[in-house]
Amino acid sequence: MLVRSKINLCALGLALLFGLCLVEFTPAKTEADTQAALFNDNERVILEAFASGDDKAFYNALLDAINAEPDAKSSRAERERYAVLCELFNDVASRFANPRKVLYDLDSRPEHEEVDWLRAQAALRAGERDQIAEIEERLGFINGWIVCGPFDNERGAGFESAYPPESVKPNFTDEYAGKSELAVKWRAVTVQPRLGYINLDESMTPDDEALAYAFTTIEAEKDCDAVLSLACDEGYRIWLNGMPLSTGSANGRNVHRPCTFDQDTFDITLFKGTNTLLLKITEEENAWGFRVRVTGDGLKRASRAEAASWVRRISENPASVPDTIDFKHGVRRDMDERTGDAPSLFWGGLYELFRAPSERKDRVAMHLLEKTHALKLSGNDAAHVCYFLAQASGSTAETKAGTEENRRREMMLETLEHNDRYVPALLWLADYYADTLQIPTRAEEYALRALETAPGNIAATMALARSYWLRDMRDEYERLCRELLERKPDDSRVYRYLGYFERAAGRKAEALKMYERALLLDASDAYVQRQMLEQLADGDDLEDYSERMTRAHELLPFSTQLYLDEAAVHAGRGDEQKALALLELALEIAPDDDVVLAESARMATRVSDTLRRQAAIEGVTELDGIPAVELAESLRVKALAWLEYALERNPRRADIQRYVQFLRDETPVWEVRLQRDIGDLIASKLAEKSPADDIARIVYSDEICHVFADGGSQRFFHIAYKVTNDDGRQALQRYPLRESGDTRVVAARVHKAKDGRVEDSRVERVSTAQFRGLLITNSSLEVGDIFEVRYRIADTQRTFFGDYFGDIASFGHMVPVDVMRATWVLPNKRQFYFYERKASGLQRSESEQDGHRVVTYEGRDIARTEDEPFSPPLMQIAPTVYISTFKDWKSWGAWYWGLIERQVRSTPAIKEQVAELTKGLEREQDIVRAIYNFTVTKIRYNSNWEFGVHGYKPYEAGAIFDRCIGDCKDKAILICAMLREAGIKAYPVIINAEMYRGHEDITLAMPNHFNHCIAYVEYKDGTSRFLDGTTTYSAYDEFPSGDAGANVILIKPDGGVVANVPLPAAEENCHNWTATLTLDVGGNARLTAKNQPKGQAASSSRSWWEVEGERVQLMEGWLGRDVPGAKVSAFEASDLEDLNTPVWWKYEATLPGVVKNENATLVVTPVIQPSKLARSQMGSLAARHNDLLLTPPNGVKSEVMIVPPSGYVPGALPQPVEIKNAFMRYCLSFESIDDGVRMKRELYFDATVVPAADYAAFRADLVKLDTADKTVLSFKKK
């Protein structure tokens, strides 16, 4: 594990829970005594070599320490210290030394497990397969497993759920209802694990919010003691001989952590004969797997082949199970606890940092190292502690939080205060400025400082090279890499960097050479393996490709993607049978993976078609003794079976549904039955002459939505555009269908106006950063032609609300429409409700067909909807039809409350936290503020709305609290649970987060209206308050503008209640500036400004200035838009992380060229950043057809003192300006103060909608405002 890598760790909670590290230090001990006691001489040599960036010295010092260590580790502190030294050694060895040299240098002592682990990883890098197998056997990894799953672990609830495999005597022949009610059964792990790692993430589908069971046996020659060691991602339970192995008061640990080595160790007793081991491994997201080893005398662990034989034997003879497995009791001995002395804290912190045995969010490493940091060390000792504390202070989540990265950066800078040549800290800062902040000049600065201390350090050289790459200095990048190659010809990283460079430069052959050399030095580099395979896949040497792929399979034995890639290469070269054989191997690894199943089915179909073709054309009668036609038919049957099973595992795979329809020669019935033949309509429209005012007109638009009983749907579209001018021709030549669900074009063609010919359009799938979907190209399109397209979209995602269905159809477009139809095919077994808005001009028809209710709305001769900036959404302008499976909000709210009622319950941990937060508080508002602050700052926000088999269902409050992460509904649930624990009424609220909302119509109960969830508090004094738990930067009284003014639904036990979120007053949602502008005769000005924002402006300020290292650069960019060359010399801010501290920030800047010297008169525009609203999208149109939408009330208030140079006095002051209407207020005034001038400026927007009828007058006021902001002041010599 790289010391400088992004390390996901653990924290405070576990240590507190188990009473770890709470020993008080003896106050009589002096700082000198403490410092002397922290590291011994050998440890100082090691850490100082690390700090110096001298990899060779670091490697040798660690090697001496590891080889000299005694084998017996009597205490936990000694074991952890030694494990840390091994982790540091593996890091430096992996990037510094040839792996064969590492194998030679390390003592080979069979009883030394940590050293064996190091040797195993070195052997993996060296590609020494025999040595890997030998060490794996010696370490006692168990490779023979049968597994069963996945089962449901939605919202982490599966850890406490006892699924059938947990029974005292599991029945290995039964099928169980797994996750999403899909059938699961026991099956063998069919591949040889690498270093004992069983990759459940690759072999289980689905693989998020899931859990699985794994079973194996251990044969003992006699009753004996043994040691069981487990590493896993994430939580686990263990049963030995049918009895739980307990840790503390419970069996197992519900932790979230990466899988490393020996994260939990158990002393166990095995009995003569067969001993059984059952694991339960839980998963929430990302990697999922485990490794187990058992060591002791006279043991025989199950092999992969034996595990496969169990499955065969059990399936053939179920009665054999009780005869071969004897369930007896096991015994566990607890691990000794950490002591509280300084070395134990430091090395324990590093052990938690590298091995990550504890709950990730508990941040145990940071907790232990903070205790060490509190010892007030100095010099290099303090630098070492600061550096590793900085690493432990980083974000533990996938997405880094700015405050956490601030903390890490500050600790790195503190490291440099103790030792300004601490190379790892310099390198981290170089990476930080290159990767996080994208400031290559600062990255270069730190890289050069590192190179001054460690001239030969590869990481420092590459950090410098990366800063050149970011500035597009590719020649300098290449020069540094070439120089490194000369100095470090045995370092795989150099070849990796050069391979990347050569490939980016388009020199694939050179890149291939570099990657080959890199793999010779590190055969375990999965990135380089992948690059090599991609390069070879395009070449002609299939033998070399196959050999490399074999090595890749050994390195990544569970990777189904490798089999998919290899199959594609062989299929591309015409060997479809080989491709099918490879896909069947992938199915052995992951038999439930719908991707592998679908690809296998497609390949089986191709082989079947080839066999039929060979039989018909070439006269091939049989293959391997089987008649060719019979084999072809069996493959087609197998393909259909695989596809049907894939759909069973993932019903939303519309592409598989289509492929099944294709194999069965089926066409969707409602598409055939309801779509019209518009040939005559197109012919008549081709003959008509259309006005050229619009780019096109829609001749015909038809959408048919077939709704399924489970709330899913399939839609059929039929649209015809007539091109009426050249802009339309250009627009429709490339017609994109953005991916939404699963999209398929049925037909696309151009009807030519000149001669009536029909030409097919070209359809291609496109996937870029900007667009993903289908692109239809009409290269021959001309003015007067009609472009016709028919396509289908199948819903491939569950709704957030279970089997709910809702839809909105607006009858309007930015071009005129001749005919527009919307049809819903609704199953009679479900109830559907309609609501019409401005729909009097629509025709409605309804019929019953084959157990379905078919409802159609049609509009004709629809005028275009003007495309104007900041217009209301189409549903607020055009005739609109709403449809929902919910009758009203009361019934929807009751349904939703029934879904979440259990989720809002408190837990002992929540009760304890609430008591701590509210201690000494009496006012309800103060209690709410404390709980709100905790939720927004301590519970990380995940912006992805999660959903599972229960649809829109948050985690239980206890799980959210334990995980310290949640999406909007999770955070709302936790706020409600904590407030209820405090005796305050609170309810979840669904809301549409939107800055420009217009007049929202939520008459019909349909969750489509909403995209967000917040909380609502009812105080005993009759007042109430909305709280948004996702607004990390908003204080209790700074409600976000995106929620203000919304129509919302309160979720109460007796049903949903419609409510409205109040709008803020503009004065409470504004920036408040005080500033001094000091002029000089040279044309420049010195600006000192301070802002004390309120409301959303304060929240925005916390977000803008969160990362301290970016503040000056951002401020200069902001000023530079109006004053090019503005330079900020100082920037200060309040404590932005403390939500109870009012926000302020101030800066000093030099503004060049803002003062004009005209005939000894100085002229300046005091509004440094004048308004340009009349030229913005707000006021760019002379007139509007639609209302203009504004953000919630807001404003800016500023008071600026303009100070002239000595000897100058103000000229005539400008007249004050005041503008006021129903939507905004503006005033600008000037006052002489001594020899200077005080300017006061206020601008407030009070409304959220400007009606179209009032727009012209409103815009005229914007013009006046912009003009007033350009007012100039003059100063004359006395």
Nearest one of 823, 871, 879, 864 to 698, comparing CA atoms: 864
Dist CA 174 CA 814 (whole Å): 60
pLDDT at 874 over 90: yes
Domain for residue 722, yes or no? yes
pLDDT at 9 over 60: no
Top pLDDT among 153 and 484 is at 153
User: 827 and 682 in one domain?
Assistant: yes
pLDDT of residue 73: 52
pLDDT at 4 over 90: no
Query: For position 963, which CATH number holds?
Result: 3.10.620.30
pLDDT at 352 over 70: yes
Tens of pLDDT along 799-855?
Answer: 556 678 999 999 999 999 999 999 999 999 999 999 999 999 999 999 999 999 999
Top pLDDT among 381 and 398 is at 381
Dihedral sign for Cα 939, 945, 950, 951, please.
positive
pLDDT at 970 over 80: yes
Domain for residue 443, yes or no? no
Dist CA 254 CA 161 (whole Å): 12
User: 193 and 285 in one domain?
Assistant: yes
Query: For position 1221, which CATH number holds?
Result: 2.60.120.1130
Reported confidence tier of residue 896, pLDDT bands at 50, 70, 90: confident
Query: For position 581, which CATH number holds?
Result: 1.25.40.10
pLDDT of residue 917: 94
Tens of pLDDT along 590-611?
Answer: 999 999 999 999 899 888 888 8
User: 814 and 918 in one domain?
Assistant: no
pLDDT of residue 950: 32
Give the pairing of strands 1194-1203 and 1070-1079: parallel
Phi and psi at residue 222, in whole multiples of 5°?
Answer: -160, 170
Contact predicate 772/766, CB 8 Å? yes
pLDDT at 991 over 90: yes
Nearest one of 547, 546, 548 to 532, comparing CA atoms: 548
Joined together, the tokens standing for residue 212 give: 């699985």
Give the contacts of 80 (CB within 8 A, at least 6 positions apart). Answer: 338, 347, 348, 350, 351
Dihedral sign for Cα 486, 489, 491, 492, please.
positive
| Domains held by the chain: number | 6
Q: What is the DSSP string of 1243-1270?
A: EEE--SEE-GGGHHHHHHHHHHHHHHHT
Mean pLDDT of 894-922: 88
pLDDT at 299 over 90: no
Nearest one of 563, 596, 580 to 191, comparing CA atoms: 563
Mean pLDDT of 1067-1094: 95
Dist CA 396 CA 404 (whole Å): 9
Cα–Cα–Cα angle for 1258, 1262, 1267, nearest 5°? Answer: 150
pLDDT at 798 over 60: no
CA distances from 455 to 55, 448, 452, 1104, 1127 (A): 11, 9, 6, 38, 34
Q: Which of 331-340, 457-466, 509-518 has the lowest mean pLDDT?
A: 331-340
pLDDT at 888 over 70: yes
Give the contacts of 140 (CB within 8 A, at least 6 positions apart). Answer: 293, 294, 295, 299, 301
Contact predicate 739/772, CB 8 Å? yes
User: 1032 and 912 in one domain?
Assistant: yes
User: 168 and 92 in one domain?
Assistant: no
Query: For position 727, which CATH number holds?
Result: 2.60.40.3140
In which domain, by residue range, is 918 found? Answer: 890-1059
Top pLDDT among 338 and 1148 is at 1148
pLDDT of residue 973: 93
Of 1001, 1031, 1059, the position where a domain reaches its end is 1059
Mean pLDDT of 341-349: 87
Mean pLDDT of 497-505: 79
- In the chain, the amino acid numbered 742 is D
Of 829, 851, 885, the position where a domain reaches its end is 885
pLDDT at 23 over 70: no
Give the contacts of 290 (CB within 8 A, at least 6 positions apart). Answer: 197, 198, 200, 214, 230, 231, 232, 233, 236, 259, 279, 281
pLDDT of residue 802: 65
What is the share, in percent, of the chain residues with pLDDT greater than 70?
88
pLDDT of residue 623: 67
Give the contacts of 626 (CB within 8 A, at least 6 positions apart). Answer: none
Q: Which of 657-661, 733-737, 970-974 has the lowest mean pLDDT?
A: 657-661
Top pLDDT among 686 and 658 is at 686
pLDDT at 151 over 80: yes
Mean pLDDT of 96-109: 80
Q: Which of 364-378, 480-494, 995-1009, 1120-1134 has the lowest mean pLDDT?
A: 480-494
pLDDT at 247 over 60: no
pLDDT of residue 648: 84
554 exposed, middle or buried (CB, 10 Å; 0-12, 13-18, 19+)?
middle
User: To the nearest whole number, what is the mean pLDDT of the chain?
Assistant: 85
Mean pLDDT of 741-768: 85
Query: Cis peptide before 1152, with omega less than 30 degrees from 0?
Result: no
User: 717 and 849 in one domain?
Assistant: yes
Reported confidence tier of residue 2, pLDDT bands at 50, 70, 90: very low
Nearest one of 503, 439, 502, 426 to 466, comparing CA atoms: 439
When mean pLDDT is compared over 374-378, 663-667, 799-803, the highest value belongs to: 374-378
pLDDT at 1122 over 90: yes
User: 822 and 697 in one domain?
Assistant: yes
pLDDT of residue 251: 74
User: 747 and 647 in one domain?
Assistant: no
Contact predicate 237/163, CB 8 Å? no
pLDDT at 479 over 50: yes
Domain for residue 1043, yes or no? yes
Dist CA 896 CA 951 (whole Å): 11
Reported confidence tier of residue 548, pLDDT bands at 50, 70, 90: confident
pLDDT of residue 455: 87
Domain for residue 448, yes or no? no
pLDDT of residue 767: 72
Domain for residue 469, yes or no? no
User: 706 and 648 in one domain?
Assistant: no
Mean pLDDT of 710-732: 91
Q: Which of 25-34, 339-348, 743-752, 1081-1090 has the lowest mean pLDDT?
A: 25-34
Reported confidence tier of residue 312, pLDDT bands at 50, 70, 90: low
Domain for residue 429, yes or no? no
Mean pLDDT of 1060-1074: 95
Reported confidence tier of residue 26, pLDDT bands at 50, 70, 90: very low
Mean pLDDT of 649-665: 74
Domain for residue 114, yes or no? no
User: 836 and 731 in one domain?
Assistant: yes
Top pLDDT among 934 and 20 is at 934
Q: What is the CA radius of gyration of the chain?
A: 35
Domain for residue 1026, yes or no? yes
**In the chain, helix, strand, coil percent, each to 5?**
40, 25, 35
Mean pLDDT of 237-248: 79
User: 1210 and 1071 in one domain?
Assistant: yes
Reported confidence tier of residue 254, pLDDT bands at 50, 70, 90: confident
When mean pLDDT is compared over 214-218, 245-249, 587-591, 1197-1201, the highest value belongs to: 1197-1201
Of 663, 690, 708, the position where a domain reaches its end is 663
Dihedral sign for Cα 950, 954, 959, 963, please.
positive
Q: Which of 357-371, 419-433, 547-561, 1213-1227 has the lowest mean pLDDT?
A: 357-371
Query: For position 225, which CATH number holds?
Result: 2.60.120
pLDDT at 317 over 60: no
Reported confidence tier of residue 690, pLDDT bands at 50, 70, 90: confident
Reported confidence tier of residue 24, pLDDT bands at 50, 70, 90: very low
Q: Which of 770-774, 991-995, 1230-1234 has the lowest mean pLDDT?
A: 770-774
User: 813 and 685 in one domain?
Assistant: yes
Contact predicate 802/711, CB 8 Å? yes
User: Strands, DSSP E only, in 501-653?
Assistant: 622-623, 626-627
Mean pLDDT of 253-276: 86
What is the share, in percent, of the chain residues with pLDDT greater than 90?
46
Q: Which of 325-334, 531-540, 741-750, 787-796 has the lowest mean pLDDT?
A: 325-334
The residues facing 1050 across adjacent strands are 989, 1057
pLDDT of residue 300: 80
When mean pLDDT is compared over 257-271, 322-336, 1213-1227, the highest value belongs to: 1213-1227
Dist CA 368 CA 18 (whole Å): 14
Mean pLDDT of 886-906: 87
